[in-house]
Structure 1
Amino acid sequence: MSVLLPVLAVLIATGIAAYHRLSIAMWAALVAVALVASWMLSGSQTTIVVLAVLAALVAIPLLVSPLRKALLTAPLLKFYTRILPPLSDTERTALESGTVGWEGQLFSGKPEWSQLLNQPKPTLTAEEQAYLDGPTEELCRMTDNWEIDHVRADLPPAVWDFIKRNKFFGLNIPKEYGGLGFSALMNHKVIQKLASISSVVSSTVGVPNSLGPAELIMHYGTQEQKDHYLPRLADGREVPCFALTGPFAGSDATSIPDYGIVCMGEWEGANVLGIRLTLNKRYITLAPVASLIGVAFRMYDPDKLLGDKEDIGISLALVPRSAEGLEIGRRHFPLNSPFQNGPIRGKDVFVPMSQLIGGHEYAGQGWRMLMECLSIGRSITLPSTASGGSKMGAVTVGAYARIRKQFGLSVGRFEGVEEALARIGGNAFAVSALSEATAAAVARGENPAVPSTISKYHCTEMGRSVAKDLMDIVGGKGIILGPRNFAGRAWQASPIAITVEGANIMTRSLMIFGQGAILCHPWVMKEMKATEIADPRERINAFDSALFGHIGFAISNAVRSFWFALTGSAFGAAPGDAYTRRFYRKLNRYSAALAVMADMSMLMLGGKLKFKESLSGRLGDVLSQLYIASCILKRHEDRGRPESDQPLLAYAFHDAVNKIETALSTALRNYPVRPVAWLLWPIIFPFGRRAQAPSDRLGHKVASILMSENDARERLAQGVFTTPCENNPGGRIYSYLPKFILAEPVERKFMKALKNSDIEAHEFEDQLLEGVRESWITEEEAAQLRELRALTLDAIMVDDFDPEELRSAGYASLLDATQATPRAVA
């Protein structure tokens, strides 16, 4: 015991110093106190002396700055410079284009929760709320999804006109240029509400307000471009699109083969300096109806008309639809969700230099411009669309599951359906919190590069999961398309959001952790920038500070991860109340575990890490779920910690934590350097995996929230179009739930009496009349049951059509051309 005592004392002192991230001097002082205490408690003197010598050998070189830099920093700088993977200009631009917010705290291993909780509660101005309740509500009322998706394959002229007149294309264009000047949060709220009735309408409004000419002109345009184009874009005189992707450049936008040659050319009767463009683009939303096309291309100046550089780089230009040589192709048909989308081609399309966004000063800056604006657009449009669809689906299918009966029981009471309802409720709750938090970050002036990728990927994935479970619950109601169907089109369209604005597979495996590990890490970017300092003395000083900060950071996180795992996250300072404090402590643990895994992976794999996409994807999952869980907790705090939200909060949180542990354990089991995995496993999972998926009991509570009247369900429904009107079958079903609940006791009483009677009537109306005569029910109760039957029929009925209604115009044209019978053509 006398030998172990000083060893144990030094380990405790070291653990305390590492846990609290104390300085080397403080660590040395604690070790000294521990050794003196061991001496006084009759610890082994030999062991104490040995430990003191070892501590001195560590502390002295680290505390004496010149000695540390000569013996340790200088050789490590040479080694680091040699192994540091080279960054291309495009990678560097992507890393430097965004800001770091709360996600940086999650990468720290010791989140400062006050930074998150002190952020202002996301709120709309009175003007924004009035627009949401007025024109946005009216646009939803005008929207007939069946007419748009099936009959017209387009918005009706009245809807196009309403969108333009009410400046839906100018939500974020400043008022001085004729726009509405709304915040990014308001942009999110509008798209969310429109998406709850039609993804075609939401995408039509969303694209001009995200990545498009207006956003780029506002940030980089010349004053002349702002004065001319922004008012025209705001009021719909110009319909914009942005042409980026093509047959040979999808997610890899830096590989675009489209090019422009700087030359002299004819423009509006004058010979001016400009660019002659050759392009081939596809998947361009709003292209078929656009009058102003933003184009990304690689710019060349072979005659050196602008300077000495021939390959100027990616640039962005504004091309009028009327430009000679520009061809707007026919429409694409995206999965029965016929928003305007199509190809654009051009050969020798000349535009003057004044059409280059930002003028010739921004020639070659297109990639940076895109990176800075893409993260803003990715933060809002697709996450908001997923939120609107998920929230509307949750509250609608909850009512449907209560109304629809099988074997005399509401289908929502079956445990299999309960499981699906619980997943829908948990995902909708998480999507709502995540999408709002990311939009709020943009509204605060941030450029959330990493959160935007997290939000885009996970909102669309959870949205697809909601659509799948929704279809499983409603069954035949969902697969029979028609005006009454509230589920089928969402399921058909769900892969679209997965694919656009960066394919989800690449977003997960390359972007989330790949960008976050460098951008969000508190020391890696500092180390990388230190190697670029020209002055040798300043370079070694900067690297020394970053390197040893990083080493202490890594040791601290290893200790914190092990301690939290060992104690089940039962201890440690954390915000929240008695219910949520344990949640914050769990996130402290997983934040430290992520930091340990990230540091070890960057150390062991270096530049090869970017090619380990499975590992990168799993670590990205950990960061993502930490961010999602944080957003859920922040939203709970902003709402005043409502007790009725606790089942939804707990379900979403435990689902996130289960995914975190799954990702960490899978990463360790497949770690490419096996000895490192053996070392990390006891630090992260000393007792093995402990987190579990949400329990059936918790799932039952979530399903009950969706199937009954309560304030938690009402909060979930906030911001979506639940108005019960002819063109909103989901809204009608949502509105039926209160009446159905009130009628349930009467129905049970009536059905029990009917079952025990000898009445021979088979028709429902005759049975009601007999029930009144037999005094089972009153006249008022009979009227209530008649209404219940009518509402139930409206909820569960599906549509049918004359065969000619389902035949396309192309089929009729084919018959006319061939003079054949339908059977012969078939």
Structure 2
Amino acid sequence: MYTACTKHSLHFDQPLVFKFLLLAIKVFSCDLVIQHRGVAMFSLIMKWMQSNKILPKISDTERQALEAGHVWIDGGFFAGKPDFDEILRQPYSLLNAEEQAFLDGPCEELIAMVDQYEVLRTKKVPDDVLAFIKAQGFMSFLIPKQYGGKEFSPLAISTIMAKINVHSFTVGTYVVIPNSLGAAELIKHYGTEDQKNNYLPKLASGEYVPCFGLTEPTAGSDAASIKAEGEVFRDDNGDIKIRLNFRKRYITLAPVSNLVTLACKLTDPNNLLGKGEDIGITTVLIHKGVEGFSSGDHHDPVGESFDNGPLIGKDVVVSVHDIIGGPANAGNGWRMLMEQLAGGRAVSLPAGAIGASKAVVATTGAYSMVRQQFGIQIGLMEGVEEKVGKIAALSYLLEASRVFSCSALNAGIHPPVVSAVLKSYTTEISQALGKDGMDVCAGAGVMQGPNNILAKTYCSAPVGVTVEGANILTRTLIIFGQGATRCHPYALKVVDAVEKDDVKQFRSSLVAWMIQFIVGVFRVLFHGVTRGIFASVPDVAPETKTYYRRLIWAGARFGFLTNMAMFAIGGKLKARGKLTGRYADALAWMLLGTATLRRFEAEGRKQEDLPLVDYALTHALSETQKAFEGIYANFDGFIGSILRFFMTLPLRLNPLATPPSDAMSHEAAKTIQRYNEQYLRLIEGIHLPDNQSLGLGRLLKSFRLLSEVEPILARIHEAQKLHKLRRGSVEELADEAQKLGIISETEAGLVALALAARLEAIEVDVFSPEQYYREDKGLEGIYSGAPVAEEKVA
């Protein structure tokens, strides 16, 4: 989300890198023989690096981003040696009894109250729904029980968000925003005792509806460059206050919020707080109604609209005690945001994306077997089947990633690189699956109305792609930009040693890095020649061992290429977004594949899920292969020439994987083309309506009935092949088959019931002219929201 996370890349000038490597190797050799001369030599190297500015200084904001959270399983891939014994020991959690009861109780009650089409049409959450949200504690999941909150786990919060958002994203924002980065989370971790006692109970009850003011017209993904101003001054009564000027936009719940958490750059010209003139980014609480503060106007987001709008402040005055954490915490806003986003990116937006992917599974799996063309179910046509198989397998992969990453958060691990991968790739993949689902449903997906259950998910997908930092920047700047230094076993240690002028730390870190690099070269060559067959694999399902071996092989190559990038490109990486994006792709698909294997083991190696695992891992490895080929083809300089001319052909002749085969997509599609225990398990977590005459309810009714009569229809079809029955639709021949004794009267009745349900399920909504046309008020009253010239705004 923030480019400050990418400004710390190591900087090696291309012409100097080889001199540096030769010098390091020479010194290392001397050091093995003459220790004291080696120390002197390393001191010389360090001074040389300082004088040639090989490594940049890391600013305070950059360091706060680097030090936020933890290195998790991603560290093994950056080191070139993923440890699957350790990975399989990582938790894969379940909801506790209280959380499951809330999901089955109040959560289901809330969804049953919401007429999703009416909310979609009016853009408004009904008063009784909002009152229920507040009364049942839907805004309190992050808040400790001592302050009236639910204190649910990140996994539970994610699961609840996924369930509600699929039904109504408009309603879901009233759950997502209070339980994401904002007042409750920041006060819980950093607030004073007075702030906790005052605000947390009121946030838990919904008395305060919060929003978080961060994004500005000139600061979106580059949030470190916000221009919102806060100036410390002493008022006429001698009290220390802050005067705020700001203009924020894209703020969810801003039009209805009565408590804003505002991020601003705080200055103190008279040093009243004793922290100097330029204090830095600070988070401040602002109450609705304070003089100079304006909110209530709306943006109109694409797809499923929700309360979102600008926040504008002109000379807004608040107390220094409205800083979260009080005056002592002034200037710590950036650190607070980085620490909470380190894990937070893996919760809300992935939850919405993965809930949407399950909705696509539920819809397309059913519709592909209910809808017929050319006398057969469209899901049996290979073109459609290819889409359905991809949807089923990648949804399995996405859910595995959600649960695995939230399980890490449950355990107190907050991995910023993994969280960035989750946010970026789950929303991108979900958007692609939504498009595939629309292709399968065709006209039924396009025609809007109460019975359409796919279009709103498809149309709203761009929101998740842009929120919390555009995915383009997350992919091309953050994931590898942050991971290359933070997750590498030695890079940050070398940078720290140079900055501290610590020869001993520099010597040990650099020698270790050189050894790691040399060993890594041999490791990638060995695994490449042997296709990872000798890689150490833990005791896992025999059918999946090949995927572990290939991920170890891929990890070795990724570690090698990471070292190449840091040695040869270094500080220029942040300008090489196309290249770093390919590094991010390789890392992301390795992590997503790893999560899929973890799920398969955690869920007891369900044999019926193997087609999904096979497709998902083959797809993940083929995408990793594609990323590696792109890196080889676009690497800079002499090293790039070596990669292109000597290593590209072996890479292509000896690939990690090729895309999933037709047979794989066939087997994967079958997992969601029967209404059975597996189908229900794969869509677990979305609301299944009791109403069987509308939307998903009537589709599932038809799907269930058709699955039940499938053996009956098979007997009719067999009779046709034996020429006992004429050609035609097997359902329409049920009466004739009954007269011939092929099926019973009861079975013929079941077939007729299933046929009627099919015809009902494929209908789309029709509106009268009075219902369809709505009065057009034009653009009168709409304005850009830009400040007038004389206003002093940030």
State whether TM-score is above 0.5.
yes
C-alpha deviations, 1:186-228, integer Å up to 9, x for none? 1111112223322223333111111111111111111111101
Aligned to 2:239, the other structure's residue is in SS state: strand
User: Is 1:569 aligned with 2:532?
Assistant: yes
User: Is 1:478 aligned with 2:445?
Assistant: yes
Show the counterpart of 1:245: 215
Q: Is the CA contact 1:651–1:699 (under 8 Å) kept in the aligned structure 2?
A: yes
C-alpha deviations, 1:586-645, integer Å up to 9, x for none? 111111111111111111112112211111111111111111111111111111111111
Show the counterpart of 1:148: 119
For residue 625 of structure 1, the aligned residue among 551, 568, 589 is 589
Whole-angstrom distance in 2 between the partners of 1:449 and 1:727: 45
**How far 1:542 moved relative to its partner?**
0.3
Q: Which moved more, 1:123-132 or 1:411-420?
A: 123-132
Whole-angstrom distance in 2 between the partners of 1:758 and 1:533: 89
Show the counterpart of 1:542: 505
**How far 1:70 moved relative to its partner?**
2.4
Tell me the amino acid that sits aligned with residue 708 of structure 1: R
Q: Is the CA contact 2:123–2:170 (under 8 Å) kept in the aligned structure 1?
A: no
The 5-angstrom pairing of residues 501-580 of structure 1 reads 501-533=468-500, 539-575=502-538, 576-580=540-544
Aligned to 1:287, the other structure's residue is in SS state: coil
C-alpha deviations, 1:697-721, integer Å up to 9, x for none? 0110001111024544333122222
**How far 1:679 moved relative to its partner?**
4.7
C-alpha deviations, 1:554-580, integer Å up to 9, x for none? 111111111111111111211123212
User: Is 1:662 aligned with 2:626?
Assistant: yes
Whole-angstrom distance in 1 between the partners of 2:543 and 2:737: 50
Compared with structure 1, are the counterparts of its residues 769 and 185 closer, same or farther at alpha carbon in structure 2 (3 Å cutoff)?
closer
C-alpha deviations, 1:414-441, integer Å up to 9, x for none? 0000111111112201111112222222
Show the counterpart of 1:183: 153
**How far 1:739 moved relative to its partner?**
1.9
User: Is 1:158 aligned with 2:132?
Assistant: no
Q: Is the CA contact 1:105–1:112 (under 8 Å) kept in the aligned structure 2?
A: yes
Show the counterpart of 1:636: 600
Show the counterpart of 1:785: 751
Show the counterpart of 2:72: 101
Q: Is the CA contact 1:143–1:727 (under 8 Å) kept in the aligned structure 2?
A: no
Whole-angstrom distance in 1 between the partners of 2:401 and 2:693: 29
Show the counterpart of 2:411: 444
Q: Which moved more, 1:745-754 or 1:583-592?
A: 745-754
User: Is 1:275 aligned with 2:242?
Assistant: yes
Whole-angstrom distance in 1 between the partners of 2:30 and 2:58: 36
**How far 1:757 moved relative to its partner?**
12
Aligned to 1:497, the other structure's residue is in SS state: helix
Show the counterpart of 1:323: 290
Compared with structure 1, are the counterparts of its residues 769 and 641 closer, same or farther at alpha carbon in structure 2 (3 Å cutoff)?
closer
Q: Which has the larger radius of gyration?
A: 1
Show the counterpart of 2:180: 210
C-alpha deviations, 1:490-547, integer Å up to 9, x for none? 110011100111100000000000000011000001111111225xxxx111001100
Compared with structure 1, are the counterparts of its residues 737 and 593 closer, same or farther at alpha carbon in structure 2 (3 Å cutoff)?
same
User: Is 1:402 aligned with 2:369?
Assistant: yes
User: Is 1:219 aligned with 2:189?
Assistant: yes
C-alpha deviations, 1:155-179, integer Å up to 9, x for none? 2222111111111110121000000
Q: Which moved more, 1:682-691 or 1:131-140?
A: 682-691
Show the counterpart of 2:4: none
For residue 696 of structure 1, the aligned residue among 657, 662, 667 is 662
Whole-angstrom distance in 1 between the partners of 2:734 and 2:658: 50
Tell me the amino acid that sits aligned with residue 601 of structure 2: E
User: Is 1:359 aligned with 2:326?
Assistant: yes
Compared with structure 1, are the counterparts of its residues 581 and 323 closer, same or farther at alpha carbon in structure 2 (3 Å cutoff)?
same
Show the counterpart of 1:821: none
Show the counterpart of 2:703: 737
For residue 345 of structure 2, the aligned residue among 372, 378, 381 is 378
Whole-angstrom distance in 1 between the partners of 2:648 and 2:34: 34
**How far 1:153 moved relative to its partner?**
0.6
Show the counterpart of 1:817: none
User: Is 1:720 aligned with 2:686?
Assistant: yes
Show the counterpart of 2:232: 262
Aligned to 2:359, the other structure's residue is in SS state: helix
Whole-angstrom distance in 2 between the partners of 1:757 and 1:577: 46
Tell me the amino acid that sits aligned with residue 630 of structure 2: T
C-alpha deviations, 1:768-816, integer Å up to 9, x for none? 77776676654423321232123213321110112333344554999xx
Unaligned runs of at least 5 residues, structure 2: 1-24, 781-794
Whole-angstrom distance in 1 between the partners of 2:209 and 2:139: 8
Aligned to 1:494, the other structure's residue is in SS state: helix
Whole-angstrom distance in 2 between the partners of 1:237 and 1:681: 65
Whole-angstrom distance in 2 between the partners of 1:138 and 1:235: 18
Tell me the amino acid that sits aligned with residue 767 of structure 2: F
C-alpha deviations, 1:311-366, integer Å up to 9, x for none? 21111111011211111141111113111111111111111111111111111111
Show the counterpart of 1:286: 253
User: Is 1:75 aligned with 2:49?
Assistant: no
Whole-angstrom distance in 2 between the partners of 1:764 and 1:638: 42
Whole-angstrom distance in 2 between the partners of 1:596 and 1:88: 28
Whole-angstrom distance in 1 between the partners of 2:435 and 2:672: 17
Compared with structure 1, are the counterparts of its residues 813 and 623 closer, same or farther at alpha carbon in structure 2 (3 Å cutoff)?
closer
Compared with structure 1, are the counterparts of its residues 348 and 687 closer, same or farther at alpha carbon in structure 2 (3 Å cutoff)?
closer
User: Is 1:86 aligned with 2:57?
Assistant: yes
Q: Is the CA contact 2:181–2:212 (under 8 Å) kept in the aligned structure 1?
A: yes
Q: Is the CA contact 1:512–1:620 (under 8 Å) kept in the aligned structure 2?
A: yes
User: Is 1:420 aligned with 2:390?
Assistant: no
Aligned to 1:395, the other structure's residue is in SS state: helix
Q: Which moved more, 1:56-65 or 1:304-313?
A: 56-65
Tell me the amino acid that sits aligned with residue 186 of structure 1: A
Q: Which moved more, 1:369-378 or 1:61-70?
A: 61-70
Tell me the amino acid that sits aligned with residue 76 of structure 2: Q
Compared with structure 1, are the counterparts of its residues 451 and 490 closer, same or farther at alpha carbon in structure 2 (3 Å cutoff)?
same
Tell me the amino acid that sits aligned with residue 209 of structure 2: V
Show the counterpart of 2:785: none
Tell me the amino acid that sits aligned with residue 464 of structure 2: A
The 5-angstrom pairing of residues 306-317 of structure 1 reads 306-307=273-274, 309-317=276-284
Aligned to 2:255, the other structure's residue is in SS state: helix
Show the counterpart of 2:99: 128
Compared with structure 1, are the counterparts of its residues 807 and 213 closer, same or farther at alpha carbon in structure 2 (3 Å cutoff)?
farther
Greater share of helix: 1
Q: Is the CA contact 2:629–2:651 (under 8 Å) kept in the aligned structure 1?
A: no
Show the counterpart of 1:707: 673
Aligned to 2:412, the other structure's residue is in SS state: coil
C-alpha deviations, 1:371-390, integer Å up to 9, x for none? 11223331100001111111
Tell me the amino acid that sits aligned with residue 804 of structure 1: E
Aligned length: 751
Compared with structure 1, are the counterparts of its residues 88 and 78 closer, same or farther at alpha carbon in structure 2 (3 Å cutoff)?
same
Q: Is the CA contact 2:481–2:574 (under 8 Å) kept in the aligned structure 1?
A: yes
Whole-angstrom distance in 1 between the partners of 2:738 and 2:778: 55
Q: Is the CA contact 1:565–1:685 (under 8 Å) kept in the aligned structure 2?
A: no
Q: Is the CA contact 1:628–1:656 (under 8 Å) kept in the aligned structure 2?
A: yes
Show the counterpart of 1:39: none
Whole-angstrom distance in 2 between the partners of 1:369 and 1:75: 37
Compared with structure 1, are the counterparts of its residues 86 and 765 closer, same or farther at alpha carbon in structure 2 (3 Å cutoff)?
closer
When the two structures are superposed, what TM-score results if normalisation uses the length of structure 2? 0.89
RMSD, matched Cα: 2.8
Compared with structure 1, are the counterparts of its residues 308 and 789 closer, same or farther at alpha carbon in structure 2 (3 Å cutoff)?
closer
When the two structures are superposed, what TM-score results if normalisation uses the length of structure 1? 0.86
